């Protein structure tokens, strides 16, 4: 699983740190870091929470193009 650069760029675009996003969705900063680095595959509930926090859709952040 590669790095999720879409998530990182969306987070940076909203001027949020990993800690800010983690607090917004109720997880630890390490979890957000692991998702961005592709080390952890989040559940659909967490994906939806992240999308809502960043005002993006699931396709925008988690759909991998071929």
Partner 1 sequence: MNKKGLDEMQLQKRNSIGNQSFVMLLYLLLLDAGLYGFGFRWISYPANVMIILSLCAGIYVIRLIAANAFAGPSVKIQKPVLNVVLIILLVILISASILVIMNNAGFTSSEQIGDMSAPVLFITAAVAILISATTFVIKAKQDKDEE
Q: For the window 28-57, what string marks contact with partner 1 as x by the rule CB under 8 A? A: xxxx-xx-----x-xx-xx--x--------
Question: Which among 1-9, 16-24, 55-63 is the span making contact with partner 1, rule CB under 8 A?
Answer: 16-24
Q: Yes or no: say if 2 and 38 are a contact pair by the CB < 8 Å rule.
A: yes
Which of 3, 9, 26, 38 is close enough to bind partner 1 by CB under 8 A? 26
d(CA 63, CA 50): 14
Name the minimum Å distance from CB 26 to partner 1.
3
């Amino acid at each position: 699983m590669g790095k999720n650069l879409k998530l990182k760029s969306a987070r940076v675009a909203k001027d949020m740190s990993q800690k800010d996003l983690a607090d917004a969705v109720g997880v630890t900063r390490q979890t957000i870091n692991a998702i961005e680095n592709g080390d952890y595959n989040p559940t659909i509930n967490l994906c939806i929470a992240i999308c809502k926090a960043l005002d993006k859709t699931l396709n925008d952040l988690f759909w991998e193009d071929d």
